[in-house]
Amino acid sequence: MSSPSKRREMDLMKLMMSDYKVEMINDGMQEFYVEFNGPKESPYHGGVWKIRVELPDAYPYKSPSIGFVNKIYHPNVDEMSGSVCLDVINQTWSPMFDLVNVFEVFLPQLLLYPNPSDPLNGEAAALMMRDRTAYEQRVKEYCEKYAKPEDVGAAPEEKSSDEELSEDEYAASDDEEIAGKPDP
Amino acid sequence: MLPRKRAGEGEVVEGESENNNNSNNIKDIAVTSPIKKHRFSAAAAADLTANNNTVAIGNNSSNHSSGSVLEPTIMAPGDANHNDIDEDLHSRQLAVYGRETMRLLFASNILISGMNGLGAEIAKNLILAGVKSVTLHDEGVVELWDLSSNFVFSENDVGKNRALASVQKLQELNNAVVISTLTTKLTKQQLSHFQAVVFTDISLEKAFEFDDYCHNHRPPISFIKTEVRGLFGSVFCDFGPEFTVFDVDGEDPHTGIIASISNDNPALVSCVDDERLEFQDGDLVVFSEVHGMTELNDGKPRKIKSARPYSFTLEEDTTNFGTYFKGGIVTQVKQPKVLNFKPLREALKDPGDFLLSDFSKFDHPPILHIAFQALDKFVSELGRFPVAGSEEDAQKLTSIAANVNECLGEGKIEDINPKLLRHFSFGSRAVLNPMAAMFGGIVGQEVVKACSGKFHPLFQFFYFDSVESLPAEPLDPSDFKPLNSRYDAQISVFGSKLQKKLEDSKVFIVGSGALGCEFLKNVALMGVSCGSQGKLTITDDDVIEKSNLSRQFLFRDWNIGQAKSTVAASAAASINPQLKIEALQNRVGPETENVFNDTFWENLTVVINALDNVNARLYVDQRCLYFQKPLLESGTLGAKCNTQMVIPHLTENYGASRDPPEKQAPMCTVHSFPHNIDHCLTWARSEFEGLLEKTPAEVNAYLSNPVEYAASMRDAGDAQAKDNLERILECLDREKCETFQDCVAWARLRFEDYFVNRVKQLIYTFPEDAATSTGAPFWSAPKRFPHPLQFSSTDPSHLHFIMAASILRAETFGIAVPDQVKNPKMLAEAIENVIVPDFQPKEGVKINTDEKDTSLSTASVNDEAMINELFYKLELCKNNLPSGFRLKPIQFEKDDDTNYHMDLIAALANMRARNYSIPEVDKLKAKFIAGRIIPAIATSTAMATGLVCLELYKVLDGAHKVEDYRNTFANLALPLFSMAEPVPPKVMKHREMSWTVWDRWILRDNPTLRELIQWLKDKGLNAYSISYGSCLLFNSMFPKHKERLDKKVVDVAREVAKAELPPYRSHLDVVVACEDDEDNDIDIPQISIYYR
Output the CA–CA distances (angstroms, integers) from residue B614 to B98, B223, B945, in the order listed: 26, 40, 18
Please name the member of B658, B1039, B1056 whose beta carbon is closest to the beta carbon of A27.
Answer: B1056
- Chain B, residues 1012-1031, CB within 8 A of chain A, namely 1024-1025, 1027, 1030-1031
Instruction: Judge: domain B255-333, CATH 3.40.1280.10.
Output: no
State how beta strands B1086-1090 and B196-199 pair.
unpaired
DSSP state, residue B253: P
CB contact under 8 A, A2 and B615: no
Q: What is the pTM of this model?
A: 0.85
**CATH placement of domain B988-1090:** 3.10.290.60
Q: Is B1057 on the interface with A (CB under 8 A)?
A: yes
Q: Which residues pair with B980 in a beta bridge?
A: B967
CB B988 within 8 A of CB B996: yes
Domain B675-849+864-917 fold is Arc Repressor Mutant, subunit A (1.10.10)
Chain A: closest CA distance from residue B605 (Å): 26
Q: Which residues pair with B134 in a beta bridge?
A: B110, B179
Q: Is A85 a catalytic residue?
A: yes
Per-residue pLDDT, B269: 95
Return the number of other C-beta atoms located less than 10 Å from residue A157's C-beta.
10
Q: How far apart are the first and last CA of chain B?
A: 66
Pairwise pLDDT comparison (A118 vs B576), residue with the higher score: B576
Give chain A positions within 8 Å (CB) of B1038: 168, 171-172
Give chain B positions within 8 Å (CB) of A34: none
Distance CA B377, CA B399 (A): 11
Matching CATH number, B499-665+945-965, of 3.40.50.1370, 3.30.365.10, 3.40.50.2020, 3.40.50.720: 3.40.50.720
Give B181-199 as a 3 state SS string: EECCCCCHHHHHHCCEEEE
Sign of CA dihedral B989, B993, B995, B999: negative
Pairwise pLDDT comparison (B845 vs A57), residue with the higher score: A57
Does the complex come out with an ipTM higher than 0.85? no
* CATH class belonging to A4-152: alpha beta
Give chain B positions within 8 Å (CB) of A135: none
Chain B: closest CA distance from residue A22 (Å): 11
- Position A60 confidence tier, pLDDT thresholds 50, 70, 90: confident
Domain ranges of chain B: 255-333, 499-665+945-965, 675-849+864-917, 988-1090
CB contact under 8 A, A6 and B720: no
pLDDT at A130 over 90: no
Sign of CA dihedral B356, B362, B366, B367: negative
Alpha-carbon dihedral angle through residues B954, B957, B961, B964, given to the nearest 10 degrees: -30
Per-residue pLDDT, B394: 97
**H or E element: which one contains B746?**
helix B740-752
State how beta strands B506-510 and B461-465 pair.
unpaired
Residue ranges of chain B with per-residue pLDDT less than 50: 1-71, 76-82, 846-860
Distance CA B143, CA B892 (A): 51
Closest among B470, B471, B467, B443 to B457, alpha carbons compared = B443
Q: Which residues pair with A32 in a beta bridge?
A: A24, A53
State how beta strands B267-271 and B311-314 pair.
antiparallel
- Chain B, residues 667-686, CB within 8 A of chain A, namely 667-669, 671-673
Distance CA B402, CA B415 (A): 9
Classified as helix, coil or strand, B544 is coil
Please give the full DSSP string across A134-182, using - where no structure is assigned: HHHHHHHHHHHHH-SHHHHHS-TTT----SPPPHHHHHHHHHHHHHHSP
Per-residue pLDDT, B854: 39
- Please give the single-letter amino acid code of residue B955: V
Return the number of other C-beta atoms located less than 10 Å from residue B521's C-beta.
25
Burial of residue B788 (number of CB atoms within 10 Å: 0-12, 13-18, 19+): middle
Per-residue pLDDT, B737: 92
Residue B1035: closest C-alpha in chain A: A13
Classified as helix, coil or strand, B1050 is helix
Q: Is B854 on the interface with A (CB under 8 A)?
A: no
Give chain A positions within 8 Å (CB) of B666: 85, 87, 90-91, 118
Q: Is B859 on the interface with A (CB under 8 A)?
A: no
Classified as helix, coil or strand, B455 is coil
Distance CA B158, CA B958 (A): 34
φ, ψ (nearest 5 deg) of residue B143: -115, 160
